[in-house]
Structure 1
């Protein structure tokens, strides 16, 4: 009987250890919200935003002039038309460093204005 009890205890311990990473992943994911202000096509403040993989991310973007933005890797577009604020919302499912490019005509038509770093 004692051997059976020890075996059951070991099985419970193994089950808990196997499920622990899943519980940690659920706790680690969170919501991240950022307000980004563009002036003259440049970010005022930090130009790299850092989040964890699995986070729900919301970018609220304002600009002093109309601008079209594209978040590479996630294929999300936003048109900012002052004085309105544009929003990009996504789940950070891909790890890496992703540029947010300005799309416009002429020189500098594909220039990164912001980076999103998604850490595993």
Structure 2
């Protein structure tokens, strides 16, 4: 009986510790992003997209956004990021990077002059957040 009471007290203690010590979510609001190219106001795609805009959100180590982006060569991309921790995002092959401050949006503008497959990687998390497929024209 004594062991049963100790077990119950241990479980109650662990639950109480979890409630008091569990990390809380940041107090900033989270904006949902849609990972699609911009469209005209009448919802018809532009004949030639001059600039495509894609968004990623990094929160608690989880990456939300497109895992792969396919675009034609010679387009301009706006790659937008928001993270709950400071980081740097690097586009391999184009050797461009953007610094991200915690909970502040950051944008990388890239003119896609080279075709191929390029990784978009975070340096702090050391994770590939997306693959950029640039199709030759």
TM range, normalised to the smaller chain?
A: 0.5 to 0.7
Q: Once superposed, which parts of structure 1, at least 4 consecutive aligned residues long, lie more than 4 Å away?
A: none
Can you give the 5+ residue segments of structure 2 that lack an aligned partner in the other structure? 1-46
Residue 39 of structure 1 pairs with residue 55 of structure 2 = no
TM-score by length of 1: 0.66
Q: Distance in 1 between matches of 2:133 and 2:62?
A: 18
How many equivalent residue pairs? 90
Specify which structure has the higher proportion of helix: 1
Can you give the 5+ residue segments of structure 1 that lack an aligned partner in the other structure? 1-26
Q: Is the Cα–Cα contact under 8 Å of residues 69 and 133 in structure 2 kept in the other structure? A: yes
Alignment match, 1:112: 128
How far did residue 29 of structure 1 move? 5.8
Q: Distance in 2 between matches of 1:117 and 1:41?
A: 24
Q: Is the Cα–Cα contact under 8 Å of residues 29 and 52 in structure 1 kept in the other structure? A: no
| Structure ranking higher on relative contact order (CA contacts 8 Å, 6+ apart) | 1
Q: Please tell me the root mean square deviation across aligned C-alpha atoms, in Å.
A: 1.9
